[in-house]
């Protein structure tokens, strides 16, 4: 999420008021819910709602309010669900070129666009004027719109679906709500929050009779506590920009009313937080950095307290703010360099934007790159469905027994043997792995086109990009990710390119530290038949874990002294033995005869 925009917010407020008709907000003089009702009267007076058909006559609606005159500035449809604010958009729609761009039918992203009701129209039975209110109905890709459905907006740390611009859906990571949510990218969180705050004001007299997980059944607060905190957080941390100003002015011309939270962002806190929360959370304490891997370090700390509630912890590396943030008291910091010392600090943040001071500093050094080369997964694609040159959804059981899915894929091409060829689709499986150390895959574009990349998305997070060109290339990506529940390759940078994938494999994290093992413990025999002897040179508590070749934990035990462990129940094969003392974890190959 964007981090601290106080100055910009003030500048935006000054600029915006220059666009507002004289005296428009002259009767908005109160605070709290009194102010909310005053604003409701202002934006209801003059509101000339369009019929549903008039709304989607784009000559008078979106063609004025939602033209991209801010990012690419190319006149395309401004779609919050496909816009990439820092790079090339994955796709664009035109108001002029192709009438079929407007849905219509859709089977995947990039098929067509339609209108997304930010407050789902099922909530109010598709009634006017809500269903035609352009302040809360925006143009979006039809497939992503359908994927959002009537879900609450929220934030998720374990996305089940990630769309091309990074929007995602998955189980809520917000305290107070455990359902599935839809999370837009950071660039548009404030935009969407202000649309929904407008909705709460404009329809104050009706909203208490409607039902939805975001709503609390009242016409004053309108939204549930957790959702108010989320909206204020998004609103306060993602400031109004020129695109929103342009849209608000065009919407005023289109239907005769304005969004007050774009014109005067301070109204939000004046209504829902009339007594400003100025109390900062307490400082996090007991920060510990541990379990260093070649590209990751784990952090944990003791929670801060706050008079209202902590909503997030921000992570600093060497005193520089990073994009790592969490609402938990632990995190694995990824994508670090090998054999490098990093020093971490943590700050707590509440919904009003108050920050704690720094925690203590904790430093740790990542390990050398010394992976085992022992592959837990080695998918050759030999068992994909029968050869077919058509593009469709494909499902098969892979070499290690996992179910794989590919969308917009054909099966008749070969690379190092049979390969799956994907166009504007994805390749995914849902493993249940304790750990992935690194991923290796071979790619090659076929049938013409240009070079590009796909995203590697694990547990809903983009880990890296996978390049492709007209020559075969093999890419290895360090990951070091624990508790893997989803594995996806998607987001082709050029969705018309057709790309073969072959020999997809990953290692399951066989790391070692011979000096430590010689000084601290001894394991014998290895290979082992039935009884494994673990000799400790201290009485420190030691956790013993054994994982099979697929990354499943098959044994766990805690010991304080030398001990023998019976392995009669294990089948013959290769395993990983992990020993943990304090903040140090060592893994070694174990062979069961």
Nearest to 469 by CA among 490, 441, 435, 500: 500
What is the distance, to the nearest Å, from the Cα of residue 121 to the centroid of all Cα atoms in its chain?
25
Nearest to 377 by CA among 590, 550, 576: 550
Per-residue pLDDT of the chain (593 residues), as tens digits, is 333 333 233 333 333 333 789 999 999 999 899 999 999 999 999 998 776 554 445 445 788 899 998 888 888 899 999 999 888 888 998 876 555 566 767 888 998 888 899 999 999 999 989 988 999 999 999 999 999 999 999 998 888 899 999 999 999 988 889 899 999 999 999 999 999 999 999 999 999 999 999 999 999 999 999 999 899 989 988 889 999 999 999 999 888 999 999 999 999 999 998 777 788 999 999 998 887 777 778 888 999 998 877 878 889 999 888 767 777 888 878 767 778 889 999 999 887 778 999 999 999 888 765 444 455 678 899 999 999 999 999 999 887 777 899 999 999 999 988 999 999 999 999 876 667 878 999 999 999 889 999 999 998 889 999 999 999 999 988 887 877 888 999 999 999 999 999 999 887 654 333 334 445 667 777 778 888 888 777 777 888 888 775 556 788 888 888 888 888 888 877 677 888 877 666 767 677 77
- Do residues 530 and 458 share a domain? no
CATH number, domain of 339, equals 2.60.40.10
- CA angle (551, 557, 563) in 5-degree steps: 120
- Do residues 149 and 75 share a domain? yes
- Do residues 131 and 248 share a domain? yes
433-446 and 452-458 strand pairing: unpaired
In a domain, 442, yes or no: yes
- Do residues 94 and 79 share a domain? yes
Domain boundary among 226, 246, 272: 272
- Do residues 65 and 181 share a domain? yes
In a domain, 31, yes or no: no
- Contact, 9 vs 265, CB < 8 A? yes
What is the domain range of residue 484?
375-507
- Do residues 361 and 404 share a domain? no
Task: Give how many domains the chain has, as a whole number.
Answer: 4
d(CA 250, CA 138): 13
CATH number, domain of 519, equals 2.60.40.3080
pTM score above 0.85: no
| Alpha helix stretches (DSSP H) within 188-263 | 189-202, 225-237, 242-255, 260-263
In a domain, 399, yes or no: yes
- Do residues 123 and 245 share a domain? yes
In a domain, 209, yes or no: no
Domain boundary among 464, 485, 507: 507
Look up residue 31 and give its two tokens: 């605070």
In a domain, 210, yes or no: no
- Contact, 229 vs 211, CB < 8 A? no
d(CA 430, CA 486): 5
In a domain, 178, yes or no: yes
CA 537, 540, 541, 543 torsion-angle sign = negative
- Do residues 410 and 327 share a domain? no
- Token pair 């072959």 is found at 502
- Per-residue b/e over 172-207, b at no fewer than 16 CB within 10 Å? bbbeebeebbbbbbbbbbbbbbbbbbbbbbbbbeeb
Look up residue 134 and give its two tokens: 């352009």
In a domain, 441, yes or no: yes
Domain boundary among 227, 245, 272: 272
- Do residues 10 and 121 share a domain? yes
- Do residues 332 and 231 share a domain? no
- Crossing angle (nearest 10°) for helices 32-44 and 189-202: 80
- Do residues 397 and 431 share a domain? yes
CATH number, domain of 488, equals 2.60.120.260
In a domain, 314, yes or no: yes
- Do residues 256 and 396 share a domain? no
């Amino acid at each position: 999420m964007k981090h601290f925009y106080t100055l910009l917010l003030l500048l935006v407020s000054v600029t915006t008021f220059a666009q507002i008709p004289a005296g428009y907000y002259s009767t908005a003089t109160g605070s709290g819910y009194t102010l909310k009702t005053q604003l409701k009267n202002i934006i209801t007076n003059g509101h000339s709602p369009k019929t549903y058909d008039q709304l989607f006559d784009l000559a008078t609606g979106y063609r004025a309010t939602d033209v991209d005159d801010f990012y690419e500035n190319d006149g395309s449809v401004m779609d919050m669900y496909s816009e990439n604010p820092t790079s090339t958009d994955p796709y664009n729609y035109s108001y002029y070129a192709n009438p079929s761009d407007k849905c219509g039918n859709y089977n995947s992203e990039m098929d067509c666009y339609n209108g997304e009701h930010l407050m789902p129209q099922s909530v109010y039975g598709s009634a006017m004027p809500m269903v035609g209110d352009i302040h809360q109905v925006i143009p979006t890709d039809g497939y992503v719109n359908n994927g959002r459905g009537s879900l609450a907006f929220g934030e998720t740390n374990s996305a089940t679906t990630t769309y091309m611009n990074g929007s995602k859906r998955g189980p809520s990571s917000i305290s107070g709500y455990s359902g599935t949510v839809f999370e837009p990218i950071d660039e548009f969180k404030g935009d969407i929050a202000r649309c929904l705050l407008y909705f709460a004001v404009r329809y104050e007299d009706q909203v208490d009779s409607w039902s939805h997980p975001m709503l609390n059944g009242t016409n004053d607060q309108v939204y549930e506590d957790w959702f108010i905190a989320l909206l204020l957080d998004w609103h306060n941390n993602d400031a109004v920009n020129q695109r929103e100003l342009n849209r608000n002015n065009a919407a005023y011309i289109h239907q005769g009313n304005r969004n007050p939270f774009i014109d005067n962002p301070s109204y939000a806190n004046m209504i829902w937080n009339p007594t400003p929360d100025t109390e900062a959370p307490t400082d996090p304490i007991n920060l510990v950095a541990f379990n260093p891997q070649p590209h990751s370090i784990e952090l944990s700390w003791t929670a801060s307290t706050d008079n209202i509630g902590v909503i997030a912890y921000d992570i600093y590396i060497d005193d520089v703010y990073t994009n790592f943030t969490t609402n938990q008291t632990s995190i694995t910091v990824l994508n670090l360099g090998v054999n490098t010392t990093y020093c971490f600090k943590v700050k707590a943040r509440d919904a009003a934007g108050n920050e704690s001071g720094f925690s203590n500093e904790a430093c740790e050094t990542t390990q050398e790159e010394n992976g085992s080369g022992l592959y837990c997964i080695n998918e050759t694609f030999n068992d994909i469905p029968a050869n077919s040159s058509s593009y469709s959804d494909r499902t098969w059981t892979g070499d290690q027994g996992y179910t794989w899915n590919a969308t917009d894929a054909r099966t008749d091409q070969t690379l190092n043997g049979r390969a799956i060829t994907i166009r504007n689709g994805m390749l995914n499986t849902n493993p249940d792995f304790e750990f992935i150390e690194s991923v290796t895959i071979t790619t090659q574009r076929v049938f013409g086109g240009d070079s590009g990349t796909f995203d590697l998305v694990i547990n809903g997070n983009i880990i890296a990009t996978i390049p492709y060109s007209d020559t075969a290339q093999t890419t290895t990506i360090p990951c070091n990710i624990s508790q893997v529940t989803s594995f996806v390759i998607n987001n082709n940078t050029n969705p018309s390119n057709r790309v073969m994938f072959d020999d997809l494999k990953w290692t399951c994290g066989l790391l070692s530290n011979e000096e430590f093992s010689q000084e601290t413990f001894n394991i014998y025999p290895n290979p082992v038949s039935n009884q494994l002897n673990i000799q400790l040179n201290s009485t420190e508590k030691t956790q013993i874990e054994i994982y099979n070749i697929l990354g499943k934990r098959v044994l766990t035990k805690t010991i304080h002294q030398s001990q023998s462990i019976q392995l009669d129940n294990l089948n013959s094969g290769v395993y990983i033995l992990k020993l943990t003392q304090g903040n140090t974890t060592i893994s070694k190959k174990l062979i069961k005869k």
